[in-house]
Amino acid sequence: MLNFLLRRILYMIPTVFLVSVVTFAIIQLPPGDYLDTLAAELADSGGLDEGTRQALADQYGLGQPMYVQYLKWMKGILFHWDFGISFEKNVPVNDLIWDRLGWTFGISILTLMFIWITALPIGIYSAVRKYSVGDYVATFFGFVGLAVPNFLLALVMMYVAFKYFGQSVGGLVSPEYIDAPWSWDKFVDLLKHIWMPIVVVGTSGAAALIRIMRANLLDELYRPYVVTARAKGMSEFQLLMRYPVRVALNPFVSTIGWILPTLVSGEIIVAVVMNLPTTGPLLLRALLVQDMYLAGSLILIVSLLTVLGTLISDLLLAWIDPRIRYQ
């Protein structure tokens, strides 16, 4: 396991490097750059004069070749932990990212807990009580959760919350608490709002894992080792949790590989619809205006979290499933 861990860490370095190069190049593939976008936005107010344009190009290094801009960006990250300056905001990228990462991580971790707490017992019940009324109900809602887009579910829930419960929608707190210091009342108001994005973002993931858990557990329930353990007199609950459920847990552990990158990128459309202070809308805006340092930094963090999540998933899978460990 130690050799495996060291090899994977060594593989991560060139992987992240190549992803950063490709990301930086793709962001600059569309014609023009940030200054062209800025000039188009200012067209109605007289446009961007040539002197100002040249000064901004010199300030941001936009007149330099692409590889020079990339090396300058990576040098700042590696030696100074400096992700550059956001063109549009004219503030350090670090300030923009870290301000939103806290909310992003908090919502995503709570969403992951919601997915696991919901999908695990329902998936086990559906497999053990195959073709029962409860199984059909779980299957129906699973299909609905997979079929309904998250942003549409967000709109419906926001309408219901506002129309029938009088709750303010959009954001994580009521308008009167946005700039207010933290207090018990603000925390309670946060709890009244934060459950909605958790349910909206987690519905499709929970529905998918319910189906996966049910299918995997059904494959294991009739294996010879289960029949043997039952013949030896082991109780059904102990038998279920000790053997087939443990094997069927693999997809739950493997979700870490894709949940970590979503901590940053998240459900961008849902975040825009619900006005969430996460990094998703920030990334979308950065891509639209070709704010390459901001967009590149966010995508680089997503890529790093992807390889870290895959590594953690592989290690946990090897710990849970001896078959993987022996391989």
CA distance 171 to 272: 10
What is the model's pLDDT at position 51?
67
Block mean pLDDT (10 aa), the chain, length 327 = 78 85 78 65 60 66 76 83 78 82 82 87 89 88 84 88 82 83 88 88 84 86 84 84 82 69 67 84 82 83 79 78 62
What is the model's pLDDT at position 259?
65
Angle separating helix axes 2-27 and 66-80, nearest 10 degrees: 140
CA distance 200 to 153: 6
Q: Are 126 and 214 in contact (CB under 8 A)?
A: yes
What is the model's pLDDT at position 296?
84
What digits encode the pLDDT tens for the residues 255-291? 766 666 665 555 778 888 888 888 888 888 888 877 7
CA distance 307 to 12: 7
pLDDT, the chain, mean: 80
How distant, in Å, are the alpha carbons of 36, 202, 257, 261 from that of 107? 36, 10, 17, 13
Sorted by sequence, the CB contacts under 8 Å of residue 52 that are 6+ apart come out as: none
For residue 85, the cross-strand partners are: 92
How distant, in Å, are the alpha carbons of 105, 261, 262, 319 from that of 278? 9, 13, 11, 33
- Provide DSSP, 71-136: HHHHHHHHHH----B-TTT-SBHHHHHHHHHHHHHHHHHHHHHHHHHHHHHHHHHHHHTTTSHHHH
